Structure 1
Amino acid sequence: MTTEIPPSLKANLFIIGSMKCGTTILYDFLCRDHRIAGATGKEVHYFSLYKEKGEEWYSSHFTPDTQTKYLLDASPTYLDMAENFEIPNAIKNYAPEAKIIIMIRDPIDRAISQLNHFQKVNQRDDLKGLNISDIFQILDEDLPVDDKTATAARYIRDFSFYASKIQRYIETFGTENVFVIHNEDLRAHGDQVLSSLYEFLDLSALDDEHYSEKRYVTGTHEVKVPVSLKTGLYAKYGQDYYSSCRHPGVQRPTSSDSALHLNQPVGAIVNEVGIGSDGFLFLVGGGNSPLDMLIMDNTQRSNIVKRWVDQTKIRQATLSELGIKYIQCMIPEKISILGEKLGWGLDLNKSFGDCFGVHFPNAADSPVVDLFSFFRNSPYRDQLYFKTDSHWTHVGAFGAYQNICHKLEIPFCEDLLKSTSSSGPVTFDLGAKMPWTFQEEGRFFHFGEGAKITDEGELVAFKKKHGLENDGGLHVGSFLSFEQDHAPQPESVLIFGDSFSEYRDHLLTGLLAGTFSKVSFAWTTNIDYNLVQELKPDIVICAMTERFMTAAPSDNFDLKAFAHDRVRSYKRPQE
């Protein structure tokens, strides 16, 4: 005969996993609070493994006193085994007003930690000597369902998928009763996490305890994982990991420090976008993936760079014969400067631009402007690029402009930063790829407001006429010229570039237009020597983003003919 357990003796606070996500550390801390009584042995697993033992057996694990407000059960299996609503419903039926704390972790780190646990704690001989790559290879093999090695591999893989299980608890208990904590936040920002958690529990925070004490700041020994494998796994887990961290409406830690971002799915890849710390997103996929240059074979990278080195020397010689000053500026990808925010252990010195720059020491006769050292050492590193776009901000563009002026031995115009500007929330390309759209504050200057447009090429005129300025298929071939009568510098400039320069005046082209008497922009990675002969500029600047270095240009390009063909062949959507 079952005896009804008084409600005051029932567990009403649950830390439900996942395994190897820091549940023990959180349990130990909360149990130091006299208002919280933890279950004997921490993990009871009643609702997942031992339901048949009955509520009296379960209740025997708790010893509350008159000050107890919460009875705490910390059993990771309540999340790990929640493949349906059976476990959430069982807890709900037992304790309808229960508070649920869900611990999550970087899915790859968690999987590696569980494998280590199986090997070192459980002494699993069948897993001895295996690494995380072996585990996923096992899952690709056609092994029997009951094979114990394959079963362990499935646990290691599947326990790192959290989102659907979190959703089941949200649907069962409501968002107001579910609190999600990221293991990394608990270790790095324990005080802030605990402050938010105590608000969730409607408890005053302990005055004499600090979660940042050394005994609570622990982590698993880092295991080296090849970057190619790591990025592949992040792509596999990315959508789930992102959803687990950013589920709308769920309770999560907050911080009074606006610069501190908690519950970040750092490292996840979603829709070809890598998620970094501090709210930064990175382009890591697509036809010209910046990530590829950092993980490709060294020989392949060397061959690509060599073609550019050879082409640059040819350009320098050709333009020198024409009496034209030549500047080659490789524009760093955001991942080349801030890639450590992804947490993948990338060797950023393997970027195309870095390897290219090695061939051109910073000598007076070198045409190359080195932005890489300047950007990496800048006190404004986090302001050089938009967080949710692959492009640089006006800060990054101005840094490049400063370096170009230095190379040309002319003063830069600091007053350009006083130009008319507009700002507001913007949804950039990378933010738009996320399941929940990101916006950030964008500020755009009209650096060329002191100059007038004297020539719009056929393609630019066509785009303006039909409102197609942002049509990516109509960028290459764009041409536009600015002139001003009382420019600080009398020289004329022809810049061959891409979207980091732009034909509009809010980036590098605009900064140059505010400095020189005449600036013409041509959207191409090639040098059009016919255009050079026609315009006869004093200076030619080639400013190109690293991702486009995979194919060295032939410089056999007719920009006007290309633009004419694009206009003639373009079919607008309504047609």
Structure 2
Amino acid sequence: MINKNQPSSLQKKQQKILPDFIIIGAMKSGTTSLYYYLNSHPEISMSRDKELNFFIAERNWQKGLNWYQSQFRGNAKIYGEASPNYTKYPGWVGVPKRMYQVLPHAKLIYILRDPIERIISQYVHQYASGTENRSITEALADFENNPHNYYISRSRYYFQLKQYLEYYSLSQILVLTSEELANYPHKVLSTICRFLEVSDDISSIDYRGKFHRSFHKRRKNALGNAIAELPLMSQLNDLPAPIRFHLDKLIYFPFSTAIKKPKLDQDLRDKLISYLEDDINQLRECTGKEFSDWCI
């Protein structure tokens, strides 16, 4: 039986692999779970590290194409990666253009989530990491005067998708939602497989696992942050992600506090919904999808 993750001797000598598809976002919308689900498909091999961020000039673009190709190994039918930062415009600009220059025939998957819930989840993620110290109300205070607010811009899904439609046809992009994936995993994964032109027999995929669930996150205290800086801890990054997640919980649990899901006051929630409504309606018109599970 062929091991898709084990390159043959001929591949090692000759083959330089580029991905056939990319999960481009959205952040906190199930990209990690989808990465692992697809990696367990016998005909699909995902990049060893989930987020390569290659097409971002300020991140890994300067490492060159050979570096990017080296991230894909094995003997699979198709290859993929998942970098939700690819839909962080205008934080990162020029991503679709660079991607198209290298991968004009690639298929793109854009998994979305209720825009308000995604904002809250991203806030929890940033707060847990220590990169956000404000309340959620303070973090969103300027959104009406700042359309590029870090939290809001990633929930402007049509605004993000539009950047890709300058280069890719809509037929190359599959738009789906984390709500669909959670409620109808078999149906959604079969749809993805047909889009990627691989077998839609998903019996090998264990889709019970959930990864990076924001509302289970904890924030490290000073001692926890000190432990995280120890050289030994960086070696955890070389472990498979499911093992790394569990070790993280075991190591840092005594040195962290649970984060409660923040509540938006009704006035702020109403303003966010009103602000995002036009974008989501344009998304509906573009994709033909209803997004009936969302609050907008």
- Normalising to structure 1: TM-score of the pair? 0.38
The answer to whether residue 277 in structure 2 is matched with residue 238 in structure 1 is: yes
Which residue number corresponds to residue 23 of structure 1? Answer: 31
* Structure 2 residue 187 is the aligned partner of structure 1 residue 192: yes
Q: Secondary structure at the match of 1:61?
A: coil
- Give the secondary structure class of the aligned counterpart of 2:152: helix
Whether the aligned pair in 1 keeps the contact of 2:86 and 2:92 (CA below 8 Å) is no
Aligned position for 2:130? 123
> Using a 3 Å threshold, how does the CA distance of structure 1 residues 207 and 111 change in structure 2: closer, same or farther?
closer
What is residue 255 of structure 1 aligned with on the other side?
A: none
TM-fit CA distance, 1:228: 2.9
User: Are positions 1:263 and 2:291 aligned together?
Assistant: yes
- Give the structure 1 partner of residue 63 of structure 2: 53
What is the CA distance between 1:179 and its match in structure 2? 0.4
Equivalent in the alignment of 1:205: 200
Amino acid at match of 1:86: G
Amino acid at match of 2:77: K
Instruction: Report what 1:388 is aligned to.
Output: none
Contact 1:181 1:263 in 2 (8 A): no
| Aligned-partner Cα distance in 2 for 1:225–1:103 | 24
Q: Does 1:228 align with 2:267?
A: yes
Count of matched residue positions in the alignment of Structure 1 and Structure 2: 237
Structure 2 unaligned residues grouped into runs of 5+: 1-13, 216-260
Q: Tell me the secondary structure at the aligned position of residue 110 of structure 2.
A: strand
The letter for the 2-side match of 1:134 is E
The 3 A distance-change label for structure 1 pair 200 and 163 is same
Shift of 1:245: 4.3
Determine the structure 1 residue equivalent to 2:18. Answer: 10
* Alignment pair present for 1:63 and 2:73: yes
Task: Tell me the CA shift for residue 246 of structure 1.
Answer: 4.5
- The residue aligned with 1:93 is 101
1:181 pairs with 176, 183, 198, which one? Answer: 176
Structure 1 position 170, deviation (Å): 2.8
- State how far apart, in whole Å, the 2-side matches of 1:192 and 1:207 are: 10
- The one-letter amino acid paired with 1:87 is V
2:167 aligns with 172
Cα drift, residue 139 of structure 1: 4.8
1:37 pairs, out of 38, 42, 45, with: 45
1:43-442 mapped onto 2 (5 Å cutoff): 43-48=51-56, 49-65=59-75, 68-81=76-89, 86-120=94-128, 122-124=129-131, 127-128=132-133, 130-131=135-136, 133-139=137-143, 154-209=149-204, 213-216=207-210, 220-221=214-215, 223-248=262-287, 263-264=291-292, 266-268=294-296
Structure 1 residues 39, 218: closer, same or farther in 2, change over 3 A? closer
Change in CA separation of 1:92 and 1:7 when aligned onto 2, cut-off 3 Å: farther
Change in Cα spacing, 1:265 to 1:208, as seen in structure 2 (3 Å) is closer
The residue type paired with residue 167 of structure 2 is T
Question: 2:133 is matched by which residue type in structure 1?
Answer: K
Q: 2:92 and 2:264 mapped to 1: Cα distance?
A: 32
Query: Per-residue deviation at 1:115?
Result: 1.3
Q: Is the 8 A contact 1:21 1:110 kept in 2?
A: yes
Q: How far has the Cα of 1:34 moved from its partner?
A: 2.4
Matched residue SS, 1:215: coil
CA 1:166 to 1:140, structure 2 compared with 1: closer, same or farther past 3 Å?
Answer: closer
Partner SS, residue 9 of structure 1? coil
Q: Which amino acid aligns with 2:28?
A: K
In structure 2, what is the Cα distance between the partners aligned to 1:217 and 1:52? 30
After superposition, the CA RMSD in angstroms is 2.9
- In 1, Cα distance between equivalents of 2:90 and 2:78: 23
Instruction: Report SS of the residue matched to 1:205.
Output: coil
Post-superposition offset of 1:136: 2.1
Q: Which piece of structure 1 moves more, 78-87 or 106-115?
A: 78-87
3-state DSSP of counterpart to 1:19: coil
The residue type equivalent to 2:265 in the other structure is: P
Distance in structure 2 (CA, Å) of the matches to 1:93 and 1:84: 17
Aligned AA for 1:100?
L
The one-letter amino acid paired with 2:200 is A
Identity of aligned residues (%): 25
**TM-score of the two chains, using structure 2 as the length reference:** 0.71
Structure 1 residues 207 and 26: alpha-carbon distance in aligned structure 2, compared to 1, 3 A threshold:
closer
Task: Look up the SS of the partner of 1:166 in the other structure.
Answer: helix
For residues 41 and 108 of structure 1, what CA distance do their matches in structure 2 show? 28
> Which structure features the higher share of helix residues?
2
Matched to 2:268, the amino acid is: L
The verdict on how the C-alpha distance between 1:197 and 1:82 changes in structure 2, with shifts beyond 3 A counting, is farther
Q: Rg larger in 1 or in 2?
A: 1
CA change 1:178–1:158 in 2 (3 A) is same
Deviations 1:333-367 (A, max 9, x none): xxxxxxxxxxxxxxxxxxxxxxxxxxxxxxxxxxx
* Deviation by residue 1:182-222 (Cα, 9 ceiling, x = unmatched): 121111221121121111111221342466x5324985435
Distance (whole Å) between structure 1 residues aligned to residue 187 and residue 278 of structure 2: 26
